[in-house]
A and B are shown apart, each in its own frame.
Chain A
Amino acid sequence: MVGWSFLIILIPLAGFAINILGSRVIPKWLAMLVGVMAVIIPFTIAGGLFFGVGEFLIREHWFNWLETDSWLLEVAYRLDHLSMVMLLIILGIGGLIHIYSVGYMRDREDAGRFFSYMNLFIFFMLVLVLGDNLLVMFIGWEGVGLCSYLLIGFDYHRKAAAIAATKAFVTNRIGDVGFLIAIFILLNNFGTLSFTKLNQVIPNALASGEIGVGLVSLICILLFFAATGKSAQFPLFTWLPDAMEGPTPVSALIHAATMVTSGIYLIVRLWPIFELSELAQSVILYTGAFSALVSALIATKQWDIKKVLAYSTISQLGYMFMALGAGGYGAAMFHLTTHAFFKALLFLVAGSVIVQLHHQQDLRKMGGLKLRLPLAGLIFAIGAWSISGLPFGAGFFSKDELLWQLYLDRGWDVWLLAVLIAFLSAYYTYRLFYLIFYGQSAEHSQKSYPSLVAEPAAMKYVLIVLAAGTVLVGLLGVPHYLDIFHVGNLINLYLAKVVVMPSQLGIDQSMTEILLMSTSLAVAVGGFLLARMRYRKSLPIEKDNGWNRLLVGKFFVDDIYQDYIAKPFSNLVKGLGIAYFEDFFHSAPKWGRRFFLKIGESIGKTGQSGNMQDYALAIGFSMMIGFAIVVILFLTSWLY
C-alpha cells in the first residue's frame, strides 16, 4: 500500500528534481519557492497526521525489493510515535531553516543548487526516520551522508570547504562499515531487518538460548560505532568541527538539529536490543560521557563562533548518548527535541551575526555588539539560557530529566560527571555570548565595523519564530514537581506507546530530585557567572601552560590520527614493499589483457578468417567433436 509516507517522502524529492533539472531555466525566486514549499507541504501533512490520528501506527509496504529463500528485503515505511517526533522536528525546523536560507542565499547565483541539495537532504532524512527496516534506513543514512558532503563542500572552489567535505564523508564511511557488518550479521542470523521483527526475535532468541549475549553485544556495538560516525562521537567526531566550513543554514539543519541525531534515533528505534546488553550500554554511556567532556573542554578555548557551537553539539549529543546508555530513551528523545530547537536557534543567530559583520567568524574581532545588534543579542540570550539549563529554559527541563535518569540508573559518580559537563556547557555558551555582545566597548566595534550588512527579513522572522519555539518546547516535558496543572510529561507520555519508560518516579523520591536539580542548577549558574566574570569586560590573557595548549590543540586528536594511524599505515605499506605489489597490480591487468589478446589472435587466425567455407567447416568440425563426445559417453555407459 502506498499512501501518506509516499506523499511526505516524495514531495522533497520532487523539489530536488525540479531544482536540479531546471537549474538553468528556473529563475532564482522560483527555485527558492519550490525549495521552501517542498518542505512546508509535507510539514502540513505531517501536522495533519499528528492531530488527526490518535492511536496510530501507519505501516506502508511499498514493494519487495529482493527476496530469497532465507531472507526478504522490503521497501516499507512506518509512521509511529517515535518517527512522528523526528518527522515534526525535521520538517518543522527544516522548514524554518529553508525560509531562513531564502534570506541567507539571496545574493548567491547558485541558490537553486543549494535548495535542491537541501531538499534532497530532507528526502533522505525522511527515508531514514520513516524506514521500517534497517535497509531502508541505511539508504537514508548513506543519502544524508552524501547530502552532508555536498553541502559542506557547497563552495567547492574553496579548498578548506572541499577538504572538510571529504573528511566528513570519509569519516562517516568508517562508521558505515559498522552498520553494514551489523546488517550482515542480522540477516545471516535472523533473516530479517524489520524493526518490529528484530525487536521481538532477538530478545526471544536470547531468552531461549539460541544466541549468546556476546552476539547481541557485538551487534549493538557495531551499530553504535555507526552512530558515532553520524552523530560525531569519539572516536569519529573530528569531522563535525571542520564541517562548519559549510553555509550556516547547513550547519544549523544538518550538523545540529537533524542528521547528527540519527545515531540517537537508531538506538532508540532498536531499544529492546540495546536493553539486552549491559556491555553495549556501558560502552555507549562512557563513550558519550567522554565525548561530551572532551568536546566541552575544547569548546572553552575556541575562537571561531561556529566551531564553539560545533563542539557544543558534540557535547550535547554525548549527553544524549549517556542517557541512552542509562536506559533513558524518553529523556534522550526529549533532549534531542529541545536541542534541535536551541542549537538551530544559536546557529541561525550566529549566522545572522556573521552575515551582518561581513562574514566575520572570529570571536576576537567581535565584541561590544550588544547595542548594535539588539535583536540578535536578545535571541542569542534566549538560546544561551536554554542550552545552559538555567531555570525554565528548554534545556533546563530536558537536562534535568536526563540527569535524573542518570542518577537513578548509574548513581552518583556518573551524575557528577554529567553535572561537570553541564557546568562547562554553561561556561562556554556564556563565554561565546559575552565575547560577541560585550567584552569590547561599543566605540571599538564602531571602529572595526563602520557599517553593518542589513539583515534580510526572512532571517529575522525565522529567528523570532524559532526563539518562541525554543521558549515553549521545554513545556513538553515538565517534571512532576513543577507540574501544577497536572498535564504530565507530554513527550514521555507520547513516546511511551513505542518506547519503554523505565523507573516510574515515586513521590518519595521527589525530594531527592529537587535536591539534585538544585545542585545542577547551582552548578550551571556557577558556569554562567564564571564566564561573566572572565569575559564581560575584556579579553582575558590566556596563560601558555600545558593544559591550555592541550585544549587549544583540541586534545590533538586530529594529530594523533594523522601521526599514529595514517602515517604508520603508509609507512607500513612502504616498508612491506607493497609498492612492488602495487606495481604488480598495475601490470597484472596488462598481462591479462595481453594473454587474452594472444588467445584471441590465435583463434582469430585459425577461425575468424572471413571465409564462409572456413566457417561452415568449423561448424561441421564442432559437430563432429560433439558426436565424438556422445559416442564416448555412450560407449562407456553401455559397456558397464
Chain B
Amino acid sequence: MDIDFQLAIILPELVIAGGVIFLSVAGLFLRPNLRMWVIPLLSIAFMLVAGAVLIIDSTSGYGFHKLIVKRRELDFFKLIILLGGVLTTLISTRYLQRRSINYFEFYVMLLAAMLGAMIAVSTTHFLTLLVGIEILAITSYVMCAIRRYDRSSVEAAFKYFLLGSFSTAFILFGIGFMYGGTGQLHFGVDIFPNGQLNNSENLFLVIGGIMFLGGLAFKLAAAPFHFWAADVYQGAPTAVMAFLISVPKIVFLVIFYNFLDSHIKFAPWGVFVLILANISMLVGNAMAFLQKDIKRLIAFSSVAHSGYLLLIVIFHRSEGMAVLGYYLLAYLLASFGMLAIIIKISADKENILLGELKGLFASSPRSVFLLSFFILSLAGIPLTAGFFGKLFLFYEIAPIGGFWIGGAMIINSIISVGYYILLIGHLFKRGVFEHSVVADSKNLEMAYWLAFLISVGILLWPQVVNTFMGFA
C-alpha cells in the first residue's frame, strides 16, 4: 500500500494536528485583542476543513500496518465529533471573555482533544487507541481546570485527573493481560484471526477484557463507574461540560462497539456490559430525581443515556452503527443546545438551581421554548430528534435482546420523563428571574440555533445517517 494513500487516510487528523501546531505558535505572536477572535475563528476553520475532507473522501481501508482504519461509519462519528468541537468553540468565546479566562490555549486544547478523539475512533489497535484516549483525556483535564482561580473548577479538574489516571491504569492493565493471553494487539473484527478472542478458556484474556471494559466504562460515565461524573461536570466550566458529556461519549461508545463487535457471543464480557447498562439506566435516572442543580441533573441524565447506548453495543444487527450514530447525533445536539441556553441564562453565575429558573418564561420566552425543545429531545418525546433516536434504538435491540431488555429500556425512559417534565415545569413557574441573561453573544445564539436547526433537519430526514454510512 503506497504512502500517499496512507496519508490520505489520516488527512482529517493531519489537518487538525497541523491546526494544533499552527495555532499554538500563532497565538504567541498575535496581539491579545486580535487573537481573542482570530484563534477561535481559525480553529473552527480547521475543523470545517477536516469535516469537509471527511465528507468528500468516501474511500475505506487500512493504513500504517493496520494501525489506522478508515470506514464510512467511523467517518460519520468523526464528523459529529467535529460538530461537537465547533459548537464548543461557539459557546465558549463569550463565556471565557465574561469570566476573564480568555486564554487562547483553550482553543488549542480543544483542537488537540478533537485530534485525540478522532484517532481513538479510527483504530482497532490497542496502542493507537491508547494514544488517542490519552490525548483526549489530558486535554480534557486542562480544559476542566481553565477557571483556575475557582475552587470548584480546580477540584473538578483534580478529581477528573486522578480518577481518570486510575481508570487509564485499568485500561493499560487490561490491554497487557489481553496481550499476555493472545499475543495480539489488534482487536478489529476483520483483522483478528477468527475465534482467537473468543476463547473463553483463556482466563488472562477474560480478566483483561473486563479490566479494559471497566476502564472504558469509567470514561463513559457508566454506573457504577460514574461517581466522578456529577462532581466533575458540576465544577467544570459549563462550556467544557457540554464538551465532556458529548464528545468522549461518542468516542468511547465507538470503542466499545468496535471492541465488542465480533465478540458479542463471548458471554462474560457481554454479561458484564449488560449489567453496566442496566445499572447505568437505573442509577442515572434515580439520581437525577434527587438533583437540585441543573448541571448535576444533566450529568445524571447523561449517565442514563450511557446505559441506553450500551444496550445497542451489545444487541445490534449489521446496521447498528447507524442507530448509534443517529442517537449520538441527536443527543449531542440536545446537550449542546441545552447547555448553550444555560450559559445564556446564567451570565453572572456558574451553577443554577432548579428553583432559580422561576420567571424565566416571562423574561426570555425564546430561551424557554428552545430549552424545552432540547429537554424533550433528551426525553425522547415524539416530534423531536431524540424520539427517533430512542425509536431506532428500540427497534434494534428489541428483536435481539427480547422482551426484558426492550422493556427495561422503555421503563427507564418513562421514568426519565418524570424529571425532564419537572425541569420543564420549573421553566414555566411564575416569579422573577433573578439572574442576568447574556444578550450580546452572536456566537452563542448561532450555536443553539444551529443545534435546533440540525435537530429539526434530522427529524425530517431520519435516514441521513444510514445514507451517509452507505447502508440505505
Contacts and interface: CB of A to CB of B under 8 A. Distances in A.
Q: Indicate, yes or no, whether A interacts with B.
A: yes
Interface of A: 63-68, 589, 592-593, 596-597, 599-601, 603-604, 607-608, 610, 612, 614-616, 618-619, 622-623, 626-627, 629-630, 633-634, 637-638
B401 interface: no
B267 A615 contact: no
B2 interface: no
Interface string B445-471: 000000000000000111100000000
A600 B159 contact: no
A615 B166 CA distance: 11
Nearest to A68: B395
Contacts of B271: 629, 633
B210 A67 contact: no
Given A604-B287, A630-B272, A65 B461 contact: yes
B39 to A, nearest CB: 34
Contact of A612 (B159, B203, B287): B159
A608 B472 CA distance: 45
13 contacts: A63-B461, A592-B415, A592-B418, A596-B418, A614-B227, A615-B159, A615-B163, A616-B162, A619-B167, A619-B225, A622-B224, A623-B214, A630-B210
Given A596-B285, A604-B290, A623-B170, A630 B206 contact: yes
B17 interface: no
A627 B275 CA distance: 13
A593 B268 contact: no
Contact of A610 (B231, B283, B290): B231
Contacts of A596: 285-286, 289-290, 415, 418
Interface of B: 159, 162-163, 166-167, 170, 200-201, 203, 206-207, 210-211, 213-214, 218, 224-225, 227-228, 230-231, 267-268, 271-272, 275, 282-283, 285-290, 395, 415, 418, 460-463, 472
Decide if the interface of chain A is mainly helix, strand, loop or mixed. Answer: helix
B268 A634 contact: yes
A5 B272 CA distance: 54
Given A615-B227, A616-B163, A622-B225, 7 more contacts: A597-B289, A599-B282, A600-B288, A616-B162, A623-B214, A629-B272, A630-B272
A601 B461 CA distance: 42
Nearest to A601: B290
A637 B286 contact: no
A640 to B, nearest CB: 13
Contact of A600 (B203, B231, B275, B286): B286
A616 B162 CA distance: 9
Given A596-B415, A623-B170, A608 B211 contact: no
A589 B200 CA distance: 45
A634 B287 contact: no
A634 B266 CA distance: 11
Most chain A beta carbons < 10 A, residue from B170, B230, B289: B289
A63 B218 contact: no
A67 B200 CA distance: 39
B214 A626 contact: yes
Contacts of B285: 596
Given A619-B218, A637-B200, A608 B166 contact: no
B461 A608 contact: no
B228 A615 contact: yes
B268 A629 contact: yes
Given A608-B230, A638-B201, A623 B211 contact: yes
A637 B167 CA distance: 29
B463 A618 contact: no
B206 A608 contact: no
Task: Report the 5 A-B pairs with minimum CB-CB distance, sorted nearest first.
Answer: A600-B290, A599-B286, A615-B227, A622-B224, A630-B268
Given A600-B290, A619-B163, A633-B271, A67 B211 contact: no
Contact of A589 (B167, B418, B472): B418
A578 to B, nearest CB: 22
A608 B287 contact: yes
Contact of B463 (A67, A592, A630, A638): A67
Most chain A beta carbons < 10 A, residue from B167, B290, B415: B290
A477 B279 CA distance: 72
Contacts of B290: 596-597, 600-601, 604
B286 A626 contact: no
A600 B463 contact: no
Contact of B210 (A66, A597, A627): A627
Contacts of A604: 287, 290
A607 B461 contact: no
B224 A618 contact: yes
A592 B419 CA distance: 11
A65 B225 contact: no
Contacts of B272: 626, 629-630
A438 to B, nearest CB: 55
B29 to A, nearest CB: 40
A115 to B, nearest CB: 24
A619 B214 CA distance: 8
Nearest to A623: B214
A633 B286 contact: no
Given A64-B472, A68-B395, A600-B290, A634 B200 contact: yes
A588 to B, nearest CB: 11
B203 A634 contact: yes
A65 B464 CA distance: 10
B287 A616 contact: no
Contacts of A66: 462-463
Nearest to B217: A622
Contacts of B224: 607, 618-619, 622
Contacts of A614: 227
A600 B418 CA distance: 14
A612 B163 contact: yes
B418 A612 contact: no
A606 to B, nearest CB: 10
A613 to B, nearest CB: 10
A65 B462 CA distance: 6
Contacts of A599: 282, 286
Contacts of B289: 593, 596-597, 600
A601 B290 CA distance: 7
A623 B169 CA distance: 13
A599 B289 CA distance: 10
A48 to B, nearest CB: 29
A603 B472 CA distance: 44
Contacts of B230: 608
B206 A600 contact: no
A603 B163 contact: no
Contacts of B462: 65-66
A65 B467 CA distance: 12
B279 to A, nearest CB: 9
Nearest to A617: B227
Contacts of B200: 634, 637
